[in-house]
Amino acid sequence: MNGSKLLPKILLISTGGTIASKIDYRTGGVTSLLSASELYSAFPELSDYGYIYPEFLFNEYSENMNPNHWSALADRISFAISNEHYDGIIVSHGTDTMHYTSSALSFALQNVPIPVVLVGSQRSSDRPSSDAFSNLVGAIRFIKDAKHSGIFVCMHHNTSDEVIACHLGTRVRKNHTSKRDAFKSLDAMPFALIENSNIIYNKLLHNGMERVNNSKNFTSKTAFSDKVFLLKFYPGFSSSFLENFLQMDYKVIILEGTGLGHVSKDCFPILEKLIDSGIFVFMTSQCIFGTVRMTVYDTGRDLLGLGIIPLSNMSSETAVVKAMWALGNNTGVEDFVRIMKTDCSSEISNMLPLV
């Protein structure tokens, strides 16, 4: 163990989820019960790796998280960054929507001067097979290395406890319901791999994210709008469903199209109506990897002609969160479209190897 003077000072914010859960032997199911202090008490060995300051914010399974929770969490982190002195912040969070929250924090908190790391677990903390401790230790080791700032997600890289992957908050997705290595970076290797005290960085990703010693460029815009709808196209989709949006209060539709960014031609007339009525319609792909390219086929070109806006290789989940954030913090059509098409927090990326 390193000398105590080298240990990082870390705020541990608890928001609930499996990592803050234990088995309820009355029902046989997992129940979210643990506060941040109880979670820390469950793993006293964490004090070997850092000075941990546990704090309870709320206790929610991640399927119950909504934009109001994102704002409250972002506000708390913003206050800690601006008024308190931590080397890093860990947010314990349920895994099911953790990538939505990491995206939300990535947009709400720009140029953070310290690492903010979301950590979850696939197994409750009281189980022998729990991955909570190793994920938490990986996050602490990443913070202690103190080379980079930003919003990250730390989870198992594979099914063993040997390697923890650290992902960019906007380039990660949960891809398996229960495996330890459920989280994967999209179109890139992870930002870093943490194996005991050894950390291997993705050199092509970390450029421009070096940790800074002050927060003069830090900005906090924590409002989110819920007037955004994620719509998945599928064979047999009834185009008449789109008519409903003319009577609803949604301002933005994120389309999850097929392949390079397509929907059936039956949808074209109603999509044109929606766009003419002032609703923004953006295109993402159902494919996990690759980018939207709407100039390859005539279908895509026709959709572009209607005013559909492609979002490159931004995931549909990240696109929804970004639209909620941009809508909540900006006014004006040109500003909104420009922000959605501009890479703000690595949500639009190249395919980058780990080197």
What's the length of the chain? Answer: 355
Distance (Å, whole) CA 203 – CA 66: 34
- Cα–Cα–Cα angle for 150, 152, 153, nearest 5°? 175
Q: Which of 243, 245, 284, 248 is nearest to 263 (CA)?
A: 284
| Strand intervals (E) in the chain | 9-14, 21-24, 29-32, 51-56, 88-92, 109-110, 115-119, 150-156, 164-168, 172-174, 183-185, 192-195, 198-201, 219-220, 228-232, 252-257, 280-285, 309-310
In sequence order, the 6+-apart residues with CB closer than 8 A to the CB of 32 are 16, 17, 18, 20, 21, 59, 60, 61, 94
Residues 6+ apart with CB under 8 A from 337: 280, 309
Please report where in the chains the tokens 């989709």 appear, as a residue: 237
User: How far is 251 from 280, CA to CA, in rounded Å?
Assistant: 6
Cite the active site residues. 18, 95-96, 174
